[in-house]
């Protein structure tokens, strides 16, 4: 989806929970604990992450990176 506001333009993306789980853990039925562990393995996070929402946000970012890379390779 593309939004135009004056000179600013941005796209938003949506991913289903199962898409995030598959992208991060390789398994669509993963639980939050598995996602947290995989985020820790995939990234070196220097600060302590206390909230599940932070892990969720990082997982969505990783999902978008994976989708973006896959789409770029397909071009």
Q: What is the predicted pLDDT for the residue at 73?
A: 80
Closest CA to 43 of 65, 28, 22, 27: 65
In this structure, of 38-42, 49-53, 70-74, the range with the lowest mean pLDDT score is 70-74
**Owning domain of residue 21:** 15-74
* pTM confidence score: 0.80
**From CA 17, how far away is CA 20, in angstroms rounded?**
5
Number of domains into which the chain is organized = 1
Asked if residue 9 belongs to a domain, the reply is no
- Mark out the alpha helices in the chain (DSSP H runs): 17-25, 32-42, 52-74
Neighbours of 49 (CB within 10 A): 14
Asked if residue 44 belongs to a domain, the reply is yes
Neighbours of 17 (CB within 10 A): 13
The overall average pLDDT reported for the chain is 88
């Amino acid at each position: 989806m593309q939004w135009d506001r004056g000179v600013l333009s941005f796209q938003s993306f949506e991913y289903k929970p199962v898409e995030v789980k598959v992208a991060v853990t390789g398994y669509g039925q993963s639980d939050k604990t598995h996602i947290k562990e995989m985020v820790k393995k995939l990234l070196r996070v220097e600060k302590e992450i206390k909230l599940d929402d932070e892990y969720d946000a990082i997982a969505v970012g990783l999902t978008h990176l994976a989708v973006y890379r896959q789409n770029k390779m397909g071009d």
